[in-house]
Amino acid sequence: MKPLAGWLLATLMTGAAAQDYSATRARMTDEIAAMARATAGETGRTSFAARVMGALGKVERHRFVAVGDEAAAYRNRPLGIGNGQTISQPYIVALMTDLLDLTGSEKVLEVGTGSGYQAAVLAELAATVYSIEIVAPLGRLAAQRLAAAGYRNVITRIGDGYQGWPEAAPFDAIMVTAAARTVPPALIAQLKPGGKLVIPVGEQGSHQNLLVIAKTADGGTQSRRVLAVRFVPLTGGPDGREKAP
Protein backbone atom coordinates (compact mmCIF):
# COMPACT_ATOMS: atom_id res chain seq x y z
CA MET A 1 0.00 0.00 0.00
CA LYS A 2 1.29 3.50 -0.82
CA PRO A 3 1.99 5.87 2.10
CA LEU A 4 -0.93 8.24 2.57
CA ALA A 5 1.02 11.36 1.50
CA GLY A 6 2.22 9.66 -1.69
CA TRP A 7 -1.24 8.32 -2.46
CA LEU A 8 -2.80 11.75 -1.93
CA LEU A 9 -0.25 13.46 -4.19
CA ALA A 10 -0.72 10.84 -6.91
CA THR A 11 -4.50 11.20 -6.70
CA LEU A 12 -4.39 15.00 -6.88
CA MET A 13 -1.91 15.00 -9.76
CA THR A 14 -3.98 12.46 -11.68
CA GLY A 15 -7.02 14.67 -11.32
CA ALA A 16 -5.11 17.77 -12.42
CA ALA A 17 -3.54 15.94 -15.36
CA ALA A 18 -6.98 14.83 -16.52
CA GLN A 19 -7.94 18.45 -17.17
CA ASP A 20 -7.16 19.78 -20.65
CA TYR A 21 -5.11 22.94 -20.23
CA SER A 22 -3.69 22.99 -23.76
CA ALA A 23 -5.61 26.09 -24.81
CA THR A 24 -4.63 28.11 -21.76
CA ARG A 25 -1.03 26.93 -22.11
CA ALA A 26 -1.03 28.16 -25.72
CA ARG A 27 -2.37 31.54 -24.61
CA MET A 28 0.42 31.71 -22.01
CA THR A 29 3.11 31.14 -24.64
CA ASP A 30 1.52 33.79 -26.89
CA GLU A 31 1.70 36.26 -24.00
CA ILE A 32 5.33 35.33 -23.31
CA ALA A 33 6.19 35.95 -26.96
CA ALA A 34 4.50 39.36 -26.80
CA MET A 35 6.39 40.27 -23.64
CA ALA A 36 9.67 39.21 -25.23
CA ARG A 37 9.05 41.73 -28.02
CA ALA A 38 8.01 44.43 -25.56
CA THR A 39 11.12 44.02 -23.38
CA ALA A 40 13.62 43.57 -26.21
CA GLY A 41 15.09 47.01 -25.54
CA GLU A 42 16.23 45.81 -22.12
CA THR A 43 16.98 42.14 -22.70
CA GLY A 44 18.42 42.41 -26.20
CA ARG A 45 16.18 39.54 -27.33
CA THR A 46 13.18 40.25 -29.54
CA SER A 47 12.11 36.63 -29.28
CA PHE A 48 13.02 33.46 -27.45
CA ALA A 49 14.42 30.35 -29.12
CA ALA A 50 11.90 27.99 -30.65
CA ARG A 51 13.19 25.18 -28.42
CA VAL A 52 12.52 27.29 -25.32
CA MET A 53 9.01 28.24 -26.44
CA GLY A 54 8.36 24.62 -27.31
CA ALA A 55 9.34 23.57 -23.78
CA LEU A 56 7.05 26.21 -22.24
CA GLY A 57 4.28 24.96 -24.49
CA LYS A 58 4.85 21.36 -23.43
CA VAL A 59 5.56 21.38 -19.68
CA GLU A 60 2.35 21.09 -17.68
CA ARG A 61 2.69 23.93 -15.20
CA HIS A 62 -0.53 22.91 -13.48
CA ARG A 63 1.31 19.84 -12.14
CA PHE A 64 3.75 22.09 -10.28
CA VAL A 65 1.52 24.64 -8.54
CA ALA A 66 -0.14 24.42 -5.13
CA VAL A 67 -3.29 22.31 -4.88
CA GLY A 68 -6.23 24.56 -5.74
CA ASP A 69 -4.18 26.85 -8.01
CA GLU A 70 -4.37 24.65 -11.11
CA ALA A 71 -6.83 26.98 -12.86
CA ALA A 72 -4.37 29.87 -12.37
CA ALA A 73 -1.32 27.89 -13.49
CA TYR A 74 -1.09 29.41 -16.98
CA ARG A 75 -1.58 33.02 -15.98
CA ASN A 76 1.60 34.94 -16.64
CA ARG A 77 2.39 35.70 -13.02
CA PRO A 78 4.15 34.12 -10.05
CA LEU A 79 2.22 31.98 -7.60
CA GLY A 80 2.86 31.09 -3.98
CA ILE A 81 3.97 27.49 -3.35
CA GLY A 82 4.27 27.59 0.44
CA ASN A 83 7.14 28.11 2.87
CA GLY A 84 7.44 31.73 1.73
CA GLN A 85 8.48 30.67 -1.78
CA THR A 86 7.01 31.24 -5.23
CA ILE A 87 6.88 29.66 -8.68
CA SER A 88 8.26 32.28 -11.05
CA GLN A 89 6.28 34.16 -13.66
CA PRO A 90 6.32 32.11 -16.90
CA TYR A 91 7.88 35.00 -18.85
CA ILE A 92 10.79 35.08 -16.38
CA VAL A 93 11.16 31.29 -16.64
CA ALA A 94 11.32 31.62 -20.43
CA LEU A 95 13.79 34.53 -20.32
CA MET A 96 16.17 32.90 -17.85
CA THR A 97 16.06 29.64 -19.78
CA ASP A 98 16.66 31.39 -23.09
CA LEU A 99 19.67 33.24 -21.69
CA LEU A 100 21.45 29.92 -21.08
CA ASP A 101 21.42 29.15 -24.84
CA LEU A 102 21.05 25.41 -24.27
CA THR A 103 21.56 23.06 -27.22
CA GLY A 104 20.51 19.75 -25.65
CA SER A 105 23.81 18.19 -24.57
CA GLU A 106 24.45 20.19 -21.42
CA LYS A 107 24.70 19.31 -17.75
CA VAL A 108 22.85 22.07 -15.90
CA LEU A 109 22.74 23.04 -12.23
CA GLU A 110 19.62 24.71 -10.87
CA VAL A 111 19.85 26.36 -7.46
CA GLY A 112 16.37 26.56 -5.96
CA THR A 113 14.15 23.69 -7.11
CA GLY A 114 11.04 25.30 -5.65
CA SER A 115 8.01 23.60 -7.17
CA GLY A 116 10.06 21.75 -9.81
CA TYR A 117 8.60 23.65 -12.77
CA GLN A 118 11.81 25.36 -13.89
CA ALA A 119 13.68 22.05 -13.56
CA ALA A 120 11.09 20.44 -15.84
CA VAL A 121 11.57 23.16 -18.45
CA LEU A 122 15.35 22.73 -18.27
CA ALA A 123 14.95 18.96 -18.54
CA GLU A 124 13.24 19.43 -21.91
CA LEU A 125 16.29 21.32 -23.19
CA ALA A 126 19.38 19.77 -21.57
CA ALA A 127 20.83 16.30 -21.15
CA THR A 128 20.87 16.32 -17.33
CA VAL A 129 19.62 18.72 -14.68
CA TYR A 130 20.91 18.77 -11.11
CA SER A 131 18.54 20.73 -8.89
CA ILE A 132 19.09 21.61 -5.24
CA GLU A 133 16.58 22.99 -2.73
CA ILE A 134 17.30 24.15 0.82
CA VAL A 135 13.67 24.01 2.01
CA ALA A 136 13.23 20.29 2.61
CA PRO A 137 9.42 20.00 2.23
CA LEU A 138 9.54 21.83 -1.09
CA GLY A 139 12.46 19.76 -2.33
CA ARG A 140 10.77 16.46 -1.49
CA LEU A 141 7.48 17.50 -3.09
CA ALA A 142 9.24 18.77 -6.22
CA ALA A 143 11.08 15.46 -6.58
CA GLN A 144 7.76 13.60 -6.40
CA ARG A 145 6.16 15.91 -8.96
CA LEU A 146 9.06 15.59 -11.39
CA ALA A 147 9.01 11.81 -11.11
CA ALA A 148 5.23 11.69 -11.56
CA ALA A 149 5.55 13.87 -14.67
CA GLY A 150 8.08 11.45 -16.13
CA TYR A 151 11.29 13.47 -15.89
CA ARG A 152 14.10 10.95 -15.50
CA ASN A 153 16.96 13.32 -16.34
CA VAL A 154 16.49 15.52 -13.25
CA ILE A 155 18.52 14.70 -10.14
CA THR A 156 17.39 16.47 -6.98
CA ARG A 157 18.78 16.94 -3.51
CA ILE A 158 18.05 18.84 -0.32
CA GLY A 159 20.92 21.15 0.54
CA ASP A 160 22.54 24.57 0.45
CA GLY A 161 22.62 25.70 -3.16
CA TYR A 162 24.89 28.61 -2.27
CA GLN A 163 27.64 25.97 -2.21
CA GLY A 164 26.57 24.46 -5.53
CA TRP A 165 26.97 20.72 -6.11
CA PRO A 166 30.75 20.13 -6.04
CA GLU A 167 30.79 16.39 -6.71
CA ALA A 168 28.72 16.83 -9.89
CA ALA A 169 30.70 19.83 -11.18
CA PRO A 170 31.70 21.26 -13.55
CA PHE A 171 28.46 22.39 -15.17
CA ASP A 172 27.84 23.71 -18.66
CA ALA A 173 25.23 26.12 -17.32
CA ILE A 174 23.92 27.23 -13.93
CA MET A 175 20.63 28.92 -13.07
CA VAL A 176 19.78 30.44 -9.70
CA THR A 177 16.08 31.03 -9.03
CA ALA A 178 16.42 33.23 -5.94
CA ALA A 179 18.20 36.54 -5.41
CA ALA A 180 21.68 36.45 -3.88
CA ARG A 181 23.24 39.49 -2.25
CA THR A 182 26.42 38.73 -4.16
CA VAL A 183 27.32 36.06 -6.70
CA PRO A 184 28.32 32.87 -4.81
CA PRO A 185 31.99 32.12 -5.58
CA ALA A 186 31.32 28.36 -5.52
CA LEU A 187 29.01 28.69 -8.51
CA ILE A 188 31.60 30.50 -10.57
CA ALA A 189 34.15 27.83 -9.62
CA GLN A 190 31.78 25.04 -10.69
CA LEU A 191 30.97 26.59 -14.07
CA LYS A 192 32.86 25.31 -17.12
CA PRO A 193 34.83 27.79 -19.24
CA GLY A 194 32.43 28.89 -21.96
CA GLY A 195 29.46 28.27 -19.67
CA LYS A 196 26.84 30.73 -18.44
CA LEU A 197 25.41 31.53 -15.02
CA VAL A 198 22.01 33.26 -14.89
CA ILE A 199 21.32 34.75 -11.47
CA PRO A 200 19.28 37.55 -9.86
CA VAL A 201 21.44 39.68 -7.55
CA GLY A 202 20.31 42.27 -5.02
CA GLU A 203 18.76 42.85 -1.63
CA GLN A 204 15.32 41.56 -0.75
CA GLY A 205 12.77 44.38 -1.00
CA SER A 206 15.27 46.55 -2.85
CA HIS A 207 16.81 46.76 -6.29
CA GLN A 208 17.61 43.42 -7.94
CA ASN A 209 19.12 42.76 -11.35
CA LEU A 210 19.05 39.63 -13.46
CA LEU A 211 22.62 38.97 -14.56
CA VAL A 212 24.19 36.71 -17.16
CA ILE A 213 27.75 35.79 -16.24
CA ALA A 214 29.88 34.07 -18.88
CA LYS A 215 33.04 32.23 -17.85
CA THR A 216 35.96 32.83 -20.17
CA ALA A 217 38.59 30.33 -21.27
CA ASP A 218 41.13 31.73 -18.79
CA GLY A 219 38.72 31.35 -15.86
CA GLY A 220 37.65 34.99 -15.76
CA THR A 221 34.08 36.22 -16.05
CA GLN A 222 32.09 38.69 -18.09
CA SER A 223 28.82 39.95 -16.60
CA ARG A 224 25.84 41.60 -18.25
CA ARG A 225 22.74 43.09 -16.66
CA VAL A 226 19.57 41.95 -18.39
CA LEU A 227 16.53 43.16 -16.49
CA ALA A 228 15.32 44.55 -13.17
CA VAL A 229 13.58 41.72 -11.30
CA ARG A 230 12.09 40.76 -7.94
CA PHE A 231 12.87 37.34 -6.46
CA VAL A 232 12.65 35.72 -3.05
CA PRO A 233 16.06 35.71 -1.31
CA LEU A 234 18.63 33.00 -1.77
CA THR A 235 19.06 31.18 1.52
CA GLY A 236 22.09 29.42 2.90
CA GLY A 237 25.69 30.53 2.57
CA PRO A 238 28.86 30.16 4.60
CA ASP A 239 28.98 33.43 6.46
CA GLY A 240 25.44 33.97 7.71
CA ARG A 241 24.63 36.61 5.12
CA GLU A 242 22.29 34.28 3.26
CA LYS A 243 20.13 32.81 6.01
CA ALA A 244 17.89 29.79 5.71
CA PRO A 245 14.28 30.28 6.86
Q: Catalytic amino acids? A: 88
d(CA 53, CA 161): 27
Give yes or no for a contact between 83 and 137, defined as CB atoms under 8 angstroms apart. Answer: yes
Nearest C-alpha neighbor of 196 from the set 227, 233, 164, 171: 171
Give yes or no for a contact between 119 and 146, defined as CB atoms under 8 angstroms apart. Answer: yes
